[in-house]
């Protein structure tokens, strides 16, 4: 594979710019005469790799799982409240209003309210 030419501000590609672009892309960097050196092709990884995850990455994974689990529990609690508690609260409020209206009517008419 032929190395890609990279132009600098002056228009001519330089050894440094070609090596830098190839290194950033993770492509093999040739050590031949076109790069000002001799030797076999070398590949520079774009990111350092680690065989064991660090404590910070483990903590991040655990916190993501915890937040996901907490979010699911909050959704379940919220929907349960909306389905069960809100209609109950509305019904209790409606009964309270009816009781107040009956007491008001009974006091206006001068009769005693009948218990239900």
List pLDDT tens digits, range 84-100. Answer: 999 999 999 999 999 99
3-state percent breakdown (helix, strand, coil) of the chain, nearest 5: 60, 5, 35
Which residues are CB-neighbours of 114 under 8 A, at least 6 positions away?
none
Q: Which of 24-28, 31-35, 100-104 has the lowest average pLDDT?
A: 31-35
pLDDT (0 to 100) of residue 8: 47
User: Tens of pLDDT along 37-86?
Assistant: 555 555 555 555 555 678 888 888 888 888 888 999 999 999 999 999 99
Residue boundaries of the structural domains of the chain: 1-45, 53-116
Cβ neighbors of 46 (< 8 A, separation 6 or more) are: 24, 25, 26
- Note the pLDDT of residue 25: 77
């Amino acid at each position: 594979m032929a190395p890609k030419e990279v132009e600098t501000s002056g228009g001519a590609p330089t050894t440094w710019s070609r090596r830098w672009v190839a290194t950033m892309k993770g492509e093999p960097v040739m050590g031949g005469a076109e790069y000002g050196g001799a030797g076999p092709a070398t590949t520079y990884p774009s990111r350092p790799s680690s065989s064991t995850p660090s404590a910070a990455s483990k903590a991040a994974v655990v916190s993501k799982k915890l937040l996901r689990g907490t979010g699911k529990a909050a959704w379940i609690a919220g929907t349960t409240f909306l389905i069960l508690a809100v209609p109950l609260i509305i019904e209790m409020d409606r009964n309270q209003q009816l009781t107040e209206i009956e007491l008001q009517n009974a006091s206006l008419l001068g009769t005693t309210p009948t218990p239900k």
